[in-house]
Amino acid sequence: MSLPHIEALYDDVPLDRRMARASTAVRRLVDRVLDGEVLDLDDSVTLLESDGDDVLALIAAADAVRKADVGDDVTYVVNRNLNFTNVCFVGCRFCAFKRHRWEPEAYNQSVETLLAKVQEAVDLGATEICMQGGINPEMPAFTYRDILTAIKQAFPTIHMHAFSPMEIMYGARRTGMTYADYLAMLKSHGLGTIPGTAAEILDDEVREILSHKKVDVRTWVDIVTTAHRLGIPSTATIMYGHVETPRHVAAHLRLLRDLQSATGGFTEFVPLRFIHTNTDMHRDGLVNEPPPKGMYDLRMYACSRLLLRGAIDNLQTSWVKINHQLAQLSLNAGCNDFGGTLMEESISREAGADAGEYTSVEEIHRLVRSVGRRPVERTTLYRKLEPTEESTTRGSTTAADGAGGRSRSREVPARPHPIH
Ligand code: SF4
């Protein structure tokens, strides 16, 4: 279904009418979520397999739940990505970013280069540096610590959101430290949060297909929960649209839910569409034609909002993976966060994504306001920053802004079961 066609379906149809057109099975499941229940695996799969009017009902319900639980503001963070090396020996088959060290495009950025890029970001108002790289076999053991130290010494107030669980595993092995000691060391040198990437699908059979050498589920969980317990929050992600089934997705969401109940350390959930074009998985015929962009993605976002209800409040759209227009539509499918400005994004671009590398604050404001919502800058940890005079003037002008762009005949109560 094309995007204009989908947009037409977003007309002001109240939740009750959307629900009335859904199948009995989906209607009952959504009602249970609206009542604050947590669905089991089979019921979650039913939602993730839905189509037609059922998906539209899910989207409307996710939008209502988002409004009830976190309100109408759409947050974003001013950040810059730093991918300090693309040299990697892991060989994930979904990754078009990696290079062997002998390839002409291989790079390792010096600390001086990184500091210059952080300075550029700070000059543009960045509060966060998001830093990840390839797993370079020639990296000195304490490189991650040393990069952190250099950046934090020069820019003490910048938030360092850095090093995936895969990098933490590698860094700990290279230094001979336990995960706890290694993470504690990074924290003492300025690490603020870690990206919950390298999650892909948290199922070892699927991971074996995606990447034989990638961090396994048990280790990913160990590293993330250790970080949380040390006071290092993380994001949570999923990579969808390749060889996974709805049951894999349901189990992934359930695992994240359970981890959040144990630690409370996830700040947000970010569904990431698999970009196939330049990957080995596409070349090898494992993913010939991924699902078309549109309802498939919106169903993923809507199900994420419903199935993580009461566990992870912040659902981030990924403009870099699905493009600006679909990201706007996802704001009415459960999302309350537009992600970051990024400024420099090479992982998705190398894989074939076409949304660009940088979305300015002005562009984020325009995109968010044009769907009737209010953009609000936040920190990495979701503290909302005071709006500037300019954004106050332009951001809260009409009643429609506060209504989230959709009329409703049914009030959804805020979630009844907070997890802590
Ligand atoms: S996803 Fe990360 S670990 Fe895997 S090949 Fe790419 S850079 Fe290496």
Whether 65 and 79 map to the same domain: the answer is no
* pLDDT confidence of residue 258: 98
Higher pLDDT, 53 or 387: 53
Average pLDDT rounded to a whole number, residues 46-62: 96
* pLDDT confidence of residue 196: 98
How many domains does one find in the chain? 2
Give yes or no for residue 181 having a pLDDT over 60.
yes
* pLDDT confidence of residue 418: 29
The pTM for the full model equals 0.91
- Note whether residue 270 is domain-resident: yes
Domain end residue (candidates: 19, 39, 69): 69
Give yes or no for residue 12 having a pLDDT over 90.
no
* pLDDT confidence of residue 243: 96
* pLDDT confidence of residue 186: 98
Nearest C-alpha to atom 4 of ligand 1 is from which residue? Answer: 92
Pocket test for ligand 1, best of 81, 87, 92, 211 (most atoms within 8 A of CB): 92
Whether 163 and 57 map to the same domain: the answer is no
**Beta-strand relationship, 128-131 and 79-82:** parallel
Quote the ligand 1 centre to 83 CA distance (angstroms): 11
Average pLDDT rounded to a whole number, residues 99-124: 96
Residue 79: beta bridge partners?
128
- Note whether residue 218 is domain-resident: yes
Domain that holds residue 54: 3-69
- Note whether residue 26 is domain-resident: yes
Give yes or no for residue 399 having a pLDDT over 80.
no
Higher pLDDT, 270 or 342: 270
* pLDDT confidence of residue 13: 78
- Note whether residue 42 is domain-resident: yes
Please, which pLDDT band fits residue 417 given cuts at 50, 70 and 90? Answer: very low
We report the CATH number of the domain holding residue 246 as 3.20.20.70
Do residues 102 and 138 make contact, with C-beta atoms less than 8 angstroms apart? Answer: no
- Note whether residue 406 is domain-resident: no
Q: Kindly state if the Cβ of 239 falls inside 6 Å of ligand 1.
A: no
Helix (H) or strand (E) run with residue 67 in it: helix 53-70
Nearest C-alpha to atom 3 of ligand 1 is from which residue? Answer: 90
- Note whether residue 386 is domain-resident: yes
* pLDDT confidence of residue 408: 37
- Note whether residue 409 is domain-resident: no
Do residues 9 and 56 make contact, with C-beta atoms less than 8 angstroms apart? Answer: yes
Q: Kindly state if the Cβ of 98 falls inside 6 Å of ligand 1.
A: yes
Write down the mean pLDDT value for the chain: 90
**Cα four-point dihedral sign 70, 73, 78, 80:** positive
Give yes or no for residue 349 having a pLDDT over 80.
no
